[in-house]
Structure 1
Amino acid sequence: MRLDLRPLDPVRSIKAKLGLLVASSIVAGVLTTWIGFDYLGWRGRWSMAFAVAVGLVVTQVLAHGMTSPLRQMTSAAREMAAGRPATPVRTTSRDEVGELARAFTAMSRDLAKVDRQRRDLLANVAHELKTPVAALRAQLENLVDGVREPDGPALSEALDQTERLAALVEDLLDLARADAGVAPLRRSAVAVRSVADDVAHEVGIARPGRDVLVDVPEDLTADADPARLRQVLVNLVDNAARHATEGGRVDVRCRSDGAGGLVVEVTDDGPGIPRDQWDAVFERFEHGTTPEPAGAPAGRSGGGGTGLGLAIARWAVALHGGRIAVVPSPRGCRIRAELPAGPAAPSNGTAPNTPTRQETSRA
């Protein structure tokens, strides 16, 4: 293991370090010259030569510690440019070089995280596409080979897989628009009860066996983008229905926040989400460990979700300048979205800490 001495790390200024380096070299040279003359009886030229050598050693030791972070960052940058993980950079220095080293370390960590998320996204999108494509291909091969008649059930199964592909592609397009910041926000007065009833009816057809109960005042209006509000409700309600128990229920409650904004709460009676995953479930393709609800069929595994629903809901809420989170609930899982009134702050449509990782069991 290579020795990495950094005696000047506690000093907070690079200028102070340079001053200490010069002063230390001078003091070391003067002391060496004095010892050579008075105690060792050396001639002047030998004492001066030895003093210069000692001064150079002191300078080398101190300067090596000062420039060590720069050399480590250079090495790490070369590793990153070659597509390899960055080598660790020691960040104990408290001066400007130390600040640079800490910023570099944070940047390399973020770049590694983004690269990992990109690879995870590609792998999981491929996985999500593979299942419906394989099922659709099998159905079509059976129809072409005459193994199965092109009757209603066969065509319905093929249509289901096609719709699943279309839903995944649409979700990916929505997130691409969010990342590109090209999704406009068109606010208007929205009749929330009408939107909620439509969403409940739509999800009830798609998820039979679950009761979707709407608790929204008839006269409630919200200052929001109608399409984005519907997007939030569809993803939250569909996610809740997918994880509710067989024969269970989903409660959709909307109310005013008293300042012209809207508060939406969607609650299911499923197994809930472990508290340490409350933030992760809004991330793209983030795997969760949520247990399956009682009575769920074997191999259900998330009910065929694309792993993007809650990420899209968070994006649509962030586009309004609002926030969304899992909140405590006496049963199942409760997700609350708050959409303030008025123009939202400039946003690219992504909420803070929006990562792109692996599929969550609740998105």
Structure 2
Amino acid sequence: MPPAAMNARPDSLRSRLLRRLWWPLLAVLVLSAVYEYDQALTRASDEQDLALRLVAIALASRLDVDADDARNDDLGWHLGRTLAAMQRADLTDRLMFVVLDSQRAVIGGDASLLPLADAGAADSSPYADRLVNGQAMRVVTFPHPSPLGPVTVVVAKTTHRRAQQAQRVLIDTVPPNLLLIALALLLVRTGVQRAMSPLNRLSESVARRAPEDLSSLPLEPLPKELLPLVGSINRLMTHVRTSVESQQAFLSNAAHQLRTPLAGVQTQIELALRDATESQRQRLLKVQQALQHMVHMTHQMLALARSSSQAASVEDFESLDLQQLLEDAASAWLDPALAARVDLGFETAAATVRGSTWMLREMLGNLIDNAIRHSPRDGRVTVRCGCTGAGRPWLSVEDDGPGIPMDEHHKVLERFYQAPGARPGGAGLGLAIVREVVQRHGATLTLGRAEKSTGLIVRVEFPPAG
């Protein structure tokens, strides 16, 4: 596939529907407008032809009245007066006539119209469009059995009024039809948008979902055309949720299965240290140190996997006392702090957070472990918790170690990354676990410089528990 085709934006269902409806509807409406204009123009032309025929009939009737004067020279004059009276009723167009007897002799009128009478006799229709002296005229030929014998009345009229009437018909039909076309297309567009609104709501509902939300989509407000699609999505959600639960169970079992043999090896090393010679003791201590590093890394990798969005999607959050969580951490991390000759202090205040107990405990443990590991001897680590004025619970861990440069803050949150100058023994997973837990709880993570030293302060602020 060409790159341009791959980068082209896919066509939307709404635009497809609009094209499928707009073009046929537009064609029908345009044809309807053309037909309406043609019919209106034909009716107007028929009315003009009828008026022209009535003029011819009036002249023929005048012949019937003046038949007794047929041998007088004033018959043509009487016909002329009749036509002049009719001309006064319509000053827009010019009327001309000629009356011929059966011998094609001119009884009255304009003899220059004689060729029109000859042409009209050959036509099947009494009406014709002719050029008279270079001017377009509408001509009617009317045979009449008068008392003088068969006569032919030919009346010609210029087409100025016809042109004006055609223009009025165009003005009267085209703008309303254009408005009708625009209104119909607008109604079609509105109808398509309303018909597509359930699909839009479904799309917005899926887009607003958190990555860990694998619950089924509701079926109630959807039209039946969308039910197969939503049903398939729900079945996929069920499969994914089942897979995640199996992964969670596997991780729990793996953590248990790994800890047991590692704990056994560590116990055996401690027993061996009791009876070991000095040279053996040095080697066993190195093995013990490596084993502890392995245990720590294994624990962190399992915690990172369990706290990821895929594994944490099945976690049930509950209301937790953040102050109690810190007090539990105090008892768990006091001995490691004493062993590292670090003053571990806690400043707690009442705060309630909604979350997962084990994930928050893991996050807090990694923050305290990092702080102790990077603090100097006789250093200080302070763990705090509380609640902001806006009702957002928070916790922070502050140390007086070397700190982390500002340009390294975003990097140390990546997996297996260690800042330059970091103390050996870490796996580069502690802050990555913290970031995963923070994301799962919808919290914010901030790294900054300690207030009274060059150390690091890590602050986590949670959404309101309510």
Q: So what's the TM-score if we normalise by structure 1? A: 0.47
Q: So what's the TM-score if we normalise by structure 2? A: 0.37
Instruction: Please state which structure has a larger fraction of its residues in strand.
Output: 2
The higher relative CO (CA closer than 8 Å, separation ≥ 6) is in 1
